Chain A
Amino acid sequence: MDFNELFNKAKKLGFNDIQARVETLEEIRYETFKGTLDKHTIADTTHLSLKGILDGRMGKLSTEDLDFDNADAWLQSLKASAKAVESGDEAIIYGGDDSYSTFDPTAGADIDTIDALRKKDLALDLDARIADGDERIAISEAIYAEAKRSIRLVNSKGLDLARQTHNAVLVAEAVAREGDDSRTAFEYIQTNRFADFDSSWLARKAVEKSTSLLGSKSIPSGRYQVLLENKASANLLQAHVNMFNAEHVQKGLSKLAGKSGEPIAGENFTLVDDPFIEKSAKSATFDDEGVATSRRKLVDSGRLEGYLHDLKTARKAGVAPTGNGFGGSIRPTNLHIAPGSEDVSSLRRSLDRGLIITDLQGLHSGTSTVSADFSLQASGYYVENGEIVKPVSLITVSGNYLDWMGRIQRMGDDLTFNISFVGSPSILIEDVVVSGT
């Protein structure tokens, strides 16, 4: 049986339209611990998602049991799923766009051609460089992880699209120890080109970070100037992405509802969702509904331009879909705050009595996309007159993300993406509430 037969079967059962998404994923992973290969993982999996419209309602199903002998059971389950739906939102299966971008996320990728042994050796080499980087390094670990993902989207309206990404990440983990004080670092490079993996640079970063945090202490509670480093800022943005999700907006779960076209942030704040970024595993020319993706500004110089949509929310709002229907919900591709023009070292030097925050922890629990209030564990360095005085830990920084978007004073030029491909430059904010001793 093939998909056409399955679709015909579905139509006989009364489905108007039906769509299948098949994802195959091949993964390789090498993990080292203190100079030896500790763990090696290989994986090969396939996943099928089906959705079908019955009496105007969308049934959904997901399975890893891809045997077409199960087709009747799938369709029965899909039928039951559709029948349970009550929401009056229009169910749509998409016939496709006139054209799709010719951007190829795998262009220039060469990790396919690299021998497995070199990948393993890369991880071991990184581990050794971390261990040798400083005598206070107690534990060195490295990970090389690679994923080759192929997606095919086919539906009864004649759509048949395919795309692929093939990316890898190299991770350096270090634990520095002095007396009974331990500090850690987690640094990485994400790419699809093997030559980008500079283990010497990565090891140095991990060693510098972990050792420089030794002796971290809390500081007195108060209001401080804060330079939030790029990755920490990206992580904070990621925790608030759903404020821009049209589904949340339409359901009254976002304070950005009804603010389209209005200023919601400072003029230095521009937020971009760009599906065509090189070397990113999130880059895609179409979403899981078959809608062509495009580069969009969600916030342009402080003004809210629009939300992230899938077919359903776009229809409801009377706007064009934006190609953000991923994984059964709405997600950005490579969402990022546009960088400013200032060198980060000049931002550091401008700190009079302030903090450089390098890490925020507890993002899954200390934030709320509903209220936008947050209170998060933070660590970094205390700075006076532009010079680092001491490392800092066990403090919290708190605020409201909507408020923060309007209060960024200066914006660095150092745009970087976090491990989930959400990006930000380093940002400087004044008068931040910090809790400590």
Chain B
Amino acid sequence: MLPKDTLERVINQALKSQADFAEVFVERTRKTTITLQSNAVEDAVEAAIKGVGIRVASGHNSVYGYTNDWDEQSLLDLATRLGQSFPGEPIREPVALPEQETGEKHQVSIPFDEVPTEKKVELAKRANQAARDYSEEISQVTIKYLDSLQEVQIASSEDIHVGEVRGRTRLAVHSVARNEQDMQSGFNGPGSGEGFEFYDRLDVEAEAKEASRIAHTMLYADEAPSASIPVVVDNGFGGVIFHEACGHSLEATTVAKGASVFSGRKGEQIGSELVTAIDDGTIDNAWGSANYDDEGRPQQRRVLIENGVLKTYMVDHLNGRRMDEASTGSARRESYRYAPTSRMSNTFIANGDSTFEEIIRDTDYGLYAKKMGGGSVNPSTGDFNFAVMEGYMIRDGKIGEPVKGATLVGTGKDALMRIDRVGNNLERAQGMCGSMSGSVPADVGQPTVRISEITVGGRKGND
């Protein structure tokens, strides 16, 4: 990584302008992707990412430059170019950086580069076999093994100089089930923010079977109805509903600009009293955890909503300036190619009192969304959608026949208010979250939750 005096010189070069903030983000990442399909390894690709991003700001306005040229003179030239956006006499004294602080949480015990490729391939093969053994109607299985070791160093004129190594790995299983009439797919992709030791405790076979079970169930599912009805969203990846319906609209990225439906609503009741929602980037070795955010501040645990009342937004330093609020350590970015902005880390709805059985029993008619796919939101309107990967009808308090092809749509403020049951079985699951600063790993999570009414967009129609 870069020596302290180089970082200092680059920051101070940028500050030879009217800029009041300068930051250097240094990254070196190694990634492995192994793809197994049609029972054979297709590809095993190593990728090396190496670059530097420099951000310079004056008040609310910022400039960002990035390069993979680590030569000090090139970085000084880039800093000069960026500083030229804020011409005039310097307003800050040159800074002296503290010694680098290195993050010690979320350690990687077994670094991926110490694991031979054959062992990674073996994992993929075990998953493939288990997924195929599930049923003769499983016609194709694609396994993607991914690992990445991201080494970062972040220094800024805010007296920040930190570094850490972030390990992440994921085993993604995509199964296709086929019969004479149809083809359907199922997905399951457990991951973690640690090293290869993750696989010591992962039940690879069970996780792989899960993808096949979903695909096979959907092969014999009826079309979902088209109607506005109660929906019971199961725990784990079901938390994507909060992530989309509400989480993105609590990020300073849109809140600071007054562009979010939840801008200026701190202290107000924005959801049902049953809802407490937390974004916690400090959970040990979780998929969305880190020692520091991507502006170099410690990651935090943030209670976003407590009993339905909006408590805090997720704030990064620069958007915080616009909001007149301190950073909550929420700045994240995919890589040095992106300027950071406020993002979710591991976001979940906290446990309530109901049991899963009670929630189903108390529902006369509705949809049980057992496994969710992804979704998206427009934070300015609050309109969101997410896909149900595996659904069942609920009739007279009992889970009935499987249904496929439903997308749920609604607005964040309605959906949060309409949560009328919260279960006691909180689980988290792993996803990739895409936004302005790229694609970052993020956990979603929740216990089983019931929404009293939401639009279900199935293909069956209402006739």
Contacts of B178 in A (CB 8 A): 252
Contacts of B41 in A (CB 8 A): 84-87
Least Cβ–Cβ distance between B339 and chain A, in angstroms:
7
CA distance A65 to B381 in the complex (A): 42
Contacts of A379 in B (CB 8 A): 383
Least Cβ–Cβ distance between B42 and chain A, in angstroms:
5
Docked-complex contact B405 and A33, CB < 8 angstroms: no
Docked-complex contact A175 and B45, CB < 8 angstroms: no
Within 40-57 of B, Cβ neighbours of A (below 8 Å) are at: 40-51
Contact with B along A187-223 (1 / 0, CB 8 A): 0000000000000000000000000000000100111
Interface size class of A (residues with CB under 8 A): 35 or more
Least Cβ–Cβ distance between B17 and chain A, in angstroms:
13
Contacts of B456 in A (CB 8 A): 435
Contacts of A399 in B (CB 8 A): 459
Chain B residue, CB-CB nearest to A250:
B38
Chain A residue, CB-CB nearest to B177:
A370
CA distance A14 to B101 in the complex (A): 45
Docked-complex contact B185 and A371, CB < 8 angstroms: yes
Contacts of A66 in B (CB 8 A): 68
CA distance A80 to B46 in the complex (A): 9
Docked-complex contact A255 and B455, CB < 8 angstroms: no
Q: A139-B257, A435-B226 are in contact. Are A87 and B42 (CB under 8 A)?
A: yes
Contact with B along A72-105 (1 / 0, CB 8 A): 0000010011011111110000000000000000
Main secondary structure of the interface of B (DSSP, over half): strand
Chain A residue, CB-CB nearest to B386:
A365
Within 102-127 of B, Cβ neighbours of A (below 8 Å) are at: 117-118, 121
Least Cβ–Cβ distance between B367 and chain A, in angstroms:
12
Within 75-97 of B, Cβ neighbours of A (below 8 Å) are at: 78, 81-82, 85
Q: Assess whether B213 is interfacial by the CB under 8 Å rule.
A: no
Docked-complex contact A84 and B34, CB < 8 angstroms: yes
Contacts of B185 in A (CB 8 A): 368, 370-371
CA distance A238 to B456 in the complex (A): 24
Contacts of B43 in A (CB 8 A): 58, 60, 81, 85, 328
A-side residues, CB < 8 A to B, are 33-34, 36-46, 58-66, 77, 80-81, 83-89, 138-139, 175, 182-184, 218, 221-223, 251-253, 255, 328, 361-362, 364-366, 368, 370-371, 373-377, 379, 393-400, 433-437
Contacts beyond the supplied A39-B62, A223-B461: 19 A-B pairs with Cβ under 8 Å: A38-B62, A42-B65, A64-B48, A80-B44, A85-B43, A87-B40, A139-B380, A182-B381, A221-B228, A222-B463, A223-B463, A362-B376, A371-B184, A375-B387, A394-B455, A396-B407, A399-B459, A433-B226, A433-B461
26 A-B residue pairs with CB within 8 Å: A38-B60, A40-B62, A40-B85, A41-B63, A42-B78, A44-B66, A45-B51, A58-B43, A62-B48, A80-B46, A81-B117, A84-B34, A84-B121, A139-B259, A175-B259, A182-B382, A252-B139, A328-B43, A361-B385, A362-B385, A362-B407, A365-B385, A373-B459, A375-B407, A377-B407, A377-B409
